[in-house]
Chain A
Amino acid sequence: GESVGLHLPTLSVQEGDNSIINCAYSNSASDYFIWYKQESGKGPQFIIDIRSNMDKRQGQRVTVLLNKTVKHLSLQIAATQPGDSAVYFCAENGGGGENKLTFGTGTQLKVEL
């Protein structure tokens, strides 16, 4: 079946460094991908999305890269700040008409001062 997985459960970075969070997906029919940020005890917040007809999209301090050949998605956070500490989820929309998202297990990002 379809699955969305993450390579690393925990990522520790120094404040000011760049962070890269990776995600693998297995459903080649997925046409839309999203990154969410979830702080402890709160609901996920939308960060950035990308459609399958693109391979890169940039936002404010964040960039999402999509490699459809190897079914890989990454989130890059520039100049990581303490407020970036959270769990980051990737999600994929498998297509088929219904807008149902499948979520990965998440990566805990810890920013060290």
Chain B
Amino acid sequence: DGGITQSPKYLFRKEGQNVTLSCEQNLNHDAMYWYRQDPGQGLRLIYYSQIVNDFQKGDIAEGYSVSREKKESFPLTVTSAQKNPTAFYLCASNQQGAGGYTFGSGTRLTVV
């Protein structure tokens, strides 16, 4: 079945560590997105990529980095510069020109 796979489902990070969240899609979608969701809030855009080897900052990119070396993959690294990384992270994709996004099941990141 086509879809988006995020891993791991739960992730724990120590202070000062970088961690990488995986996002893989087999929908052949051109565009991919990373969102952060905090309790009682909507989704905030971190980074997005509309084509391989290209990506743009979203509204809250500070402390995060991404790469888009393959069409299927859009990993997100949460760096030590992100001071409040505990949140639910959602990856999404869509076909350019199409409307809605398809979302993954999310990764819950907790700082310990």
Q: Do A and B come from one complex?
A: yes
- Could you mark each residue 78-112 of chain B with 1 if its beta carbon is under 8 Å from any beta carbon of chain A, else 0? 00000000000010101011111111111010000
A62: Cβ under 8 A from any B Cβ = no
B2: Cβ under 8 A from any A Cβ = no
- Could you mark each residue 20-55 of chain A with 1 if its beta carbon is under 8 Å from any beta carbon of chain B, else 0? 000000000000101010000111111001000000
Interface size class of A (residues with CB under 8 A): 20 to 34
The chain A residues found within 8 Å of chain B, CB to CB, are: 4, 9, 32, 34, 36, 41-46, 49, 89, 93, 98-101, 103-106
Q: 16 additional contacts, CB 8 Å, given A44-B103, A49-B99, A104-B42?
A: A34-B99, A34-B100, A41-B108, A42-B105, A43-B6, A43-B90, A44-B90, A99-B98, A99-B99, A100-B48, A101-B101, A103-B43, A105-B40, A105-B41, A106-B40, A106-B41
